[in-house]
Chain A
């Protein structure tokens, strides 16, 4: 086994973003206004929550919208069960 390992050349880790694409992305980020940055961050945060909600709905198809919303809030904010004010 040790011999086999020694014969395998070290491969660079796979890149999910090429340097060219990353440079392009950085140029785009640098050209954006503060409003655009805040809008983008808020949009992806809302998208992330929508995905979380879809996951909770898939795992608990019997739950009501209110129960699903409550679980999404719990997952996002609280390690403990939510206080009564949310329900």
Chain B
């Protein structure tokens, strides 16, 4: 039950610090699509400097490696900071919520679920697909496209395809979307 312990600890930390958040990235795509290995667990957080300081106040220094000055710097730049869990060795990426329309929209749509008796907010499957298409870099590994295709295969009929296609158009992701659909045998 290592996962239970890890997710309980992170969720509790964010809840105690009063920071709105959502699970995203490969762990979110593993929830909706095909499971895959990753050394990182990604959370998008909506926090200012006070929230970050509060998070660090609750962060047990014996359990996690962390660096407050790095986190505050990332907060000012709206970027990312990492925390490493000494117990499992997982790197937790905290990504600051961007102000752009899609980021705000996906955050607003996040789902409140429960895992092991604690609340866990997670991006919707449609938004995880769109993120995966965005993270795909031309000429690089097709892992992100495979993750998106996995969600299309597993969640097929449940997905709001017009919503995905709207953002594919707005964000200029037609090529990546086409690849993911082909891989999922939907093309």
Residue count of chain A within 8 Å CB distance of chain B: 24
A30 touches B35 (CB 8 A): no
Q: Which of B2-10, B72-80, B94-102, B133-141 contacts A (4 or more CB under 8 A)?
A: B2-10
A29 to B36, CA, bound (A): 13
A34 touches B31 (CB 8 A): yes
A76 touches B39 (CB 8 A): yes
**Per-position 1/0 for A37-51, Cβ under 8 A of B:** 111111111111100
- Is B65 in the interface zone, CB < 8 Å from A? yes
A48 touches B91 (CB 8 A): no
B34 touches A29 (CB 8 A): yes
A43 to B4, CA, bound (A): 11
A86 to B26, CA, bound (A): 25
- Chain A residue, CB-CB nearest to B23: A38
- Is B12 in the interface zone, CB < 8 Å from A? no
Asked, given contacts A35-B4, A35-B115, A37-B30, whether A45 binds B37 with beta carbons under 8 Å apart, the answer is yes
**Per-position 1/0 for B30-53, Cβ under 8 A of A:** 111111111110000000000000
The majority secondary structure among interface residues of chain B is mixed
B35 touches A49 (CB 8 A): no
Asked, given contacts A39-B3, A42-B3, whether A49 binds B38 with beta carbons under 8 Å apart, the answer is no
Q: Is the interface on chain B under 10, 10 to 19, 20 to 34, or 35 or more residues? A: 20 to 34
B31 touches A45 (CB 8 A): no
**Residue from A22, A29, A41, A77 in contact with B26 in the complex, judged by beta carbons closer than 8 Å:** A41
- Is B163 in the interface zone, CB < 8 Å from A? no
**Residue from A40, A44, A85 in contact with B65 in the complex, judged by beta carbons closer than 8 Å:** A85
A85 to B84, CA, bound (A): 11
- Is A73 in the interface zone, CB < 8 Å from B? yes
A77 touches B36 (CB 8 A): no
Of A40, A42, A47, A86, the most chain B CB neighbours within 10 A belong to: A42
**Per-position 1/0 for B94-115, Cβ under 8 A of A:** 0000000000000000000111
User: Chain A residues in contact with chain B, CB under 8 A?
Assistant: 22, 26, 29-30, 34-35, 37-49, 73, 76-77, 85-86
Q: List 17 A-B contacts (CB under 8 A).
A: A22-B153, A26-B153, A29-B34, A29-B154, A34-B113, A34-B114, A34-B115, A37-B30, A37-B35, A38-B30, A42-B88, A42-B90, A43-B3, A44-B35, A44-B37, A49-B89, A77-B91
